[in-house]
Chains A and B, each alone.
Chain A
């Protein structure tokens, strides 16, 4: 068993609010995967493992995608259906596959062509509980569910809408440094507060824009291949990034609690123990921001923010961007490309630790943490996972 697996390349297709005519989900997935392999300095034929997550790939599955993309023979294949937790769920499996020698070069890719019809299909038929007990209310989409959850968090932590505004405005400022983000214009706290309410207390800027796009990463057994063959220019690979820990917790409660505590309260301590690090060691953080309340809940569960200091830290650490959280703009400003939403944070954290994050590069970023969260069973997400990564010097 090898000690570590390494992320040696990543790519994100352009995100678009409306799908480019002629673009398909499988086309987006293959585009991201091929660009990630190229960025790693590897050849497409080096790939012997593939992991895929997509809401709209059907009727195809991972094996169809592999065949149509000209891949094979593969010694490792997986398809993950866990939405916002799918990227790290795949990484948890892929890391072990690399370390155990089941595969030598694994591409993990997530994405969706998300037009209005696909989005409506997704939110109305998300699962059986949604079909039978939420869609008929009629409730389409999770805004109301997370409005109720945000109310609970406001009461529990003594927060106001203004406090959450620091998350949205800071991420918009980061997005201004990310050419790939769909919303880049600066957002003031006043604009955030004055925006139309969508489901009180949630306003327009508390909700993510659905986009079409895909994200991919490449894992290998050693850092040498990529670093040695790194090219030049925008696609060049930077430093290899070592996977220090990936941990998951699913179904921490029975959907009967307040939803303010995620599975990270179980997964994060295991990840910190395995990596020998803690939240305060992290130079960059990426948390799954389907709503600001969930970004905050995960930062608390990671130990990056103390619940009793939430109001102060939102203003003084998040709002000021002293704590680098979701440095590509997150889903709130970069966009939510369906199942790629979890991979977006992995790609960004890789780029920061590889030293290739462009204008938004965090100085001397060595350690980073990424979370995944999702799969609303009935009232809130049931899946949470976390990865701790290190840029190899």
Chain B
């Protein structure tokens, strides 16, 4: 089951957060409501050795780290995307992996030159 991703909005000052917080850094309030993330724009994207593409998407001014869905190879820097929350099918740890799904017909800019290299094979270490 997947659906739209949700952000957290302070009911007092409307500042939007993701991931959720316990109190609002802007006004100090502690009452929040959920709002749909809405469409976002890919600001950066990278690719891990196993092929997983990780992107930073800004929506409602909030930067979200997300993966790109497997059918969305079109997600590049500048892409307009929908943020989709895909909880795991089974119970266990709370998990909210957010995927960026390309919106057909949206504008796109050319990816940066440093992303054109293709030989990705090393398992890196942080």
Q: Which residues of chain A have a CB within 8 Å of any CB of chain B?
A: 119, 123, 129, 131-139, 141-148, 151-152, 154-155, 160-161, 195-204, 207-210, 254-256, 290, 378-379
Contacts and interface: CB of A to CB of B under 8 A. Distances in A.
B52 A141 contact: no
Contact of A196 (B94, B120, B126): B120
26 contacts: A119-B125, A132-B93, A135-B95, A138-B67, A138-B97, A141-B124, A141-B125, A143-B48, A144-B48, A145-B54, A145-B65, A148-B45, A148-B56, A154-B114, A197-B117, A198-B48, A198-B49, A198-B124, A199-B48, A199-B124, A200-B46, A201-B46, A204-B124, A210-B126, A256-B62, A378-B19
Contacts of A134: 65
Contacts of B117: 197, 200
Given A129-B19, A136-B93, A139-B54, 5 more contacts: A136-B95, A137-B97, A137-B98, A161-B114, A203-B122
A197 B122 contact: yes
Contact of A123 (B44, B67, B96, B126): B126
- 5 interchain residue pairs of minimum CB distance: A198-B124, A136-B95, A196-B122, A147-B46, A136-B97
Interface in B83-126: 88, 93-98, 112, 114-115, 117, 119-126
A205 to B, nearest CB: 10
B94 A195 contact: no
Interface residues of B, number: 38
Contacts of B112: 151, 154-155
Interface string B31-50: 00000000000011111110
B52 A137 contact: yes
Contact of A137 (B19, B43, B65, B121): B65
A329 B88 CA distance: 42
A133 B65 contact: yes
B124 A138 contact: no
Contacts of A144: 46, 48, 54, 65
Contacts of B122: 195-198, 203-204
A254 B97 CA distance: 20
B121 A196 contact: yes
Given A144-B54, A200-B115, A208-B125, A133 B19 contact: yes
Given A148-B46, A201-B114, A133 B124 contact: no
A117 to B, nearest CB: 14
B10 interface: no
Contacts of B95: 131-132, 135-136
Contact of A138 (B46, B52, B123): B52
Among A137, A146, A151, A209, which residue has the most Cβ atoms of chain B within 10 A? A137
Contacts of B61: 256
B65 to A, nearest CB: 6
